Structure 1
Amino acid sequence: MPYWLMKSEPDEFSIHDLKKLGHGRWDGVRNYQARNFLRQMKEGDQFFFYHSSCAEPGIAGIGRISRSAYPDPTALDHASPYHDAKANDESNPWSAVDVEFVEVFASPLKLAQLKAQAALQDLALVKKGSRLSVMPVSADEWQAILAMR
């Protein structure tokens, strides 16, 4: 089973929001490589929920993909900050997935902690210049991160 890491600003959508809702739509991804990763996700895949652009960035919990990729409706919504003027009903280049809550960590695993783990040296998140909001995580990296909880 593939594993993933997905980033969200907690002021926008946090692991606590997902816990409260139980499920939600992961949308608004506007990077082609990250979009392509969304399109690879299958129902049942798990992901680390990473809080970014906040006081203490880190992995805050775990979610699961509950619906594989479909056209992102925010691209067509003129009121959405993720609206894409080039998208239309026939041609929408953006994708969304549905997610469900699995677990919130007692305390987030901070980026510095992740960078200090030799087993995570190849994790895209810890590499310099990595800015993707969606990225794959290997089975070994998944287990190494789980062991840090």
Structure 2
Amino acid sequence: MQTWLMKSEPEEASIDDLQRLGRLPWVGVRNYQARNFMRDAFQLGDRVLFYHSSCAQPGIAGIARVASGAYADPTQFDPSNPYFDPKSKPEAPRWLLVDVAFERKTTLLPLSEMRLQPELATMALLQRGSRLSITPVSDSEWAFLAQRLT
């Protein structure tokens, strides 16, 4: 089993939304590397650190799991959707998504606190210029974080 960190703006999809609904499609990924992680590396049951981004207090807000294989993100075909991609065609979709399922909500572990931890110094999220919405989390990073996610 692998662990992934997936970023979501809480106004679009929060850990509370996921808890209420139980399962959500992870729409709107428009980065090829993040898409390739979903398509090529995600496995059913992989752990997900649900990260709130672009908000007053960014940080890990909960734990989810990968609940489906990758499939076409329908928002790419909808001209009224902000994630519309006119170059993507239903017969050859450019953008994919996976469903994530709720596991548990945690006390928010803020980005500012994560930056202070030497055990997380190499974590992809904390690297200068890192903007990917999906990043892998190493086993040692997961072990360290799991002790702090209450």
Match of residue 117 from structure 1: 117
Deviations 1:53-112 (A, max 9, x none): 00000000001111011111111122211110001111111110011000101x210011
Percent identity of equivalent pairs:
51
Match of residue 146 from structure 1: 146
Letter in 1 for 2:74: P
Q: How does 1:1-149 map to 2 (within 5 A)?
A: 1-39=1-39, 40-105=41-106, 107-149=107-149
Query: Which TM-score applies when normalising by structure 2?
Result: 0.96
Aligned length: 148
Unaligned runs of 5+ in 2: none
- Cα distance in 2, alignment partners of residues 18 and 96 from structure 1: 15
SS of structure 1 residue aligned to 2:83: coil
SS of structure 2 residue aligned to 1:148: coil
- Cα distance in 1, alignment partners of residues 110 and 116 from structure 2: 10
Unaligned runs of 5+ in 1: none
Deviations 1:114-148 (A, max 9, x none): 11111111101011110000010011111111112
Letter in 1 for 2:80: A
The structure whose residues are more often strand, as a share, is 1
- Which aligned segments of 4 or more residues in structure 1 are displaced greater than 2 angstroms? none
SS of structure 2 residue aligned to 1:68: coil
Query: Which TM-score applies when normalising by structure 1?
Result: 0.96
Deviations 1:6-34 (A, max 9, x none): 00000110000000000110011001111
SS of structure 1 residue aligned to 2:145: helix
